[in-house]
Amino acid sequence: MTYRQLRSLVQFHLRDIKADAVDDNLVDVFVNEGLRQLAVETLLLEEKTSSLTYNSSLDGFTLPTDFIKVKSLHWQDPESGQHEIEYKTVADVYKKRNDWLNLNESSGDYLTPLGYSIHEGVIILDSTTTTSPILYYYKYDTALANADDSPSIDSEFHSMIADYALHKITRDTEALALWRDQLRKLAASNTKRAKTARVRFRGL
């Protein structure tokens, strides 16, 4: 379903429930809010990047603008290969950094991070390196802007975005129930696909 069709669907339901006239801009706002909320609720969209920007003032790596949540963080070591970095508290990360600095290690001597945390919108590593780690993360869908833009999720679930927008505009309880019901179906569908993928992987 395209952005144009989603907006038309919301307007159709508004007329159906005899709601007062609603500005198109408000419909646009809540359609895209529904798209973002769908990404948060389902964590279906994933991304990978190894080119995070180093923020010198915060001594960390700026998160992508479409970031929701870390799936995993990895480090590519030239000798031992790629390994996953564990999540730690901010206090633990800075303690580790200070321990190394107290041992008079130069920043170039400790390049293999063992832990990370997120603080003030950046990824903080327990090493003093400016080399970007590899981030696998859950992301927001690209905002719908052009008439022919379409959400990234399966088309059978596109109409739930209209349900979300309708509820936010009118507080319609039926639309909210449809949104929640589709969320459950989408979660079940994703779980089934994940199980199938694991079976196939083990069978290779």
Residue 97 and residue 89 in contact, taking contact as beta carbons nearer than 8 Å? no
Determine the Cα–Cα distance for residues 102 and 128; give it in Å rounded to an integer.
Answer: 13
For residue 122, which of 58, 56, 70, 76 has the smallest C-alpha distance?
Answer: 58
Question: How far apart, in Å, are the Cα atoms of 20 and each of 11, 14, 43, 47, 178?
Answer: 11, 8, 34, 41, 22
Q: Where are the domains of the chain?
A: 3-44+144-199, 46-139
- Residue range 58-94, pLDDT digits in tens: 989 999 999 999 999 999 988 878 899 999 999 999 8
* pTM, 2 dp: 0.84
- The predicted-structure confidence for 142-154, as pLDDT tens digits, reads as follows 999 999 999 999 9
Q: Which two tokens stand for residue 24?
A: 């198109």
**The token pair that represents 187 in the structure block:** 């979660």
